[in-house]
């Protein structure tokens, strides 16, 4: 703003930033998926903490997958993010800035926004709630709440609060196992919030909002994909207004799991459909060649601008 006095510009530069995040790097997959690496700022200082977002094009559908934390404290055994440690919660401004900057940099207007990137959104509830208000408020970003999904491994009180405060926002529960013993192993937070408590909150959410929940289920060969597992999941999910989305495990170097074959995914889906009245889909993996697929966000691509 060269029409302002030099001293005023210098003072503004010291006190304000126009962006909460500093763009550092982006990579484009062979399937068109784009992964963005951001650095956090604190005023004029770089915080040294990083996070990732992903843009997923699919015909006319453009999905923004955004993060709510730098790293993740939950440490699910099948997710690369938790292996890298936890650096902190994002502010509402940092969550919203991912949406703003991806749109500005690509010109691709989102049709869907999913809170499924780095972190557990409901462990950063205050910032997530504020960001949802900003993204959906007509006078701000004006994005339709029905086209937003918040994913969680299960924080019961916050699931209920999400339903009360944002009844049009969709809920996705990362299930991955229908028995507490298995979920304790895969999702350590299950030891604090057991499956029964989580599902009670999900049922309350469905009653409050009148919406179905999506159960996300990462298929881990030899771990959670037996006929008995399918029967357990079908029994658990059937009484709840829901759909099930199967996700083939996306490999990363530290994980002790293998990628399931298409045949095994189809077999597990068939076993589920035999006992479950809802829709069962298989999510197509996108961005795997740039470590941008579900469960792969790990900051594996280091900063291009120092740090």
Beta-bridged to residue 88, according to DSSP, are 70
Beta strands 61-65; 213-219: pairing state: unpaired
As annotated, the active-site residues are 52, 294
CATH code, residues 19-290: 3.20.20.70
Beta-bridged to residue 112, according to DSSP, are 63
* Of 137, 123, 284, 134, residue with least CA distance to 192: 123
* DSSP letter assigned to residue 47: E
Beta-bridged to residue 246, according to DSSP, are 217, 282
Q: pLDDT tens digits for the chain (307 residues)?
A: 889 999 999 998 888 777 789 999 899 988 889 999 999 976 444 445 889 999 999 999 999 999 999 999 999 999 988 888 898 999 999 999 999 999 999 999 999 999 999 999 999 999 999 999 999 999 999 999 999 999 999 999 999 999 999 999 999 999 999 999 999 999 999 999 999 999 999 999 999 999 999 999 999 999 999 999 999 999 999 999 999 999 999 888 778 899 999 999 999 999 999 999 999 999 876 555 544 445 444 555 444 433 3
Q: What is the reported pTM?
A: 0.88
């Amino acid at each position: 703003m060269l029409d302002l006095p030099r001293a005023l510009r210098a003072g503004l530069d010291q006190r304000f930033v126009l962006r909460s995040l500093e763009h550092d790097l982006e990579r484009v997959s062979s399937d068109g998926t784009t992964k963005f690496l951001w650095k956090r700022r604190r005023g004029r200082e770089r915080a040294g903490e990083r996070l990732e977002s992903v843009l997923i094009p699919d015909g006319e559908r453009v999905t923004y997958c955004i993060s709510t934390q730098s790293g993740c404290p939950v440490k699910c055994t099948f997710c690369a993010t938790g292996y890298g440690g936890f650096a902190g919660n994002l502010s509402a401004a940092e969550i919203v800035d991912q949406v703003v900057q991806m749109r500005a940099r690509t010109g691709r207007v989102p049709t869907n926004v999913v809170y499924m990137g780095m972190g557990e959104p409901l462990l950063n509830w205050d910032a997530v709630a504020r960001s949802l208000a900003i993204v959906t408020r007509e006078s701000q970003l004006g994005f339709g709440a029905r086209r937003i999904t918040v994913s969680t491994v299960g924080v019961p009180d916050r699931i209920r609060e999400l339903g009360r405060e944002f009844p049009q926002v969709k809920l996705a529960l990362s299930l991955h196992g229908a028995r507490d013993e298995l979920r304790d192993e895969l999702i350590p937070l299950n030891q604090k919030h057991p499956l029964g408590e989580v599902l009670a909150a999900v049922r309350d959410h469905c009653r409050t909002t009148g919406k179905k929940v999506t159960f996300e289920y990462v298929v881990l060969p030899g771990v959670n994909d037996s006929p008995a597992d399918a029967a357990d999941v079908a029994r658990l999910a059937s009484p709840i207004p829901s759909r099930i989305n199967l996700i083939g495990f996306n490999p990363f170097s530290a994980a002790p799991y293998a990628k399931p074959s298409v045949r095994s995914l189809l077999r597990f889906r068939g076993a589920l459909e035999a006992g479950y009245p809802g829709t069962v889909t298989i999510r197509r993996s996108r961005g795997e060649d740039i470590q941008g697929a579900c469960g792969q966000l790990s900051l594996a691509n280091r900063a291009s601008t120092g740090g």
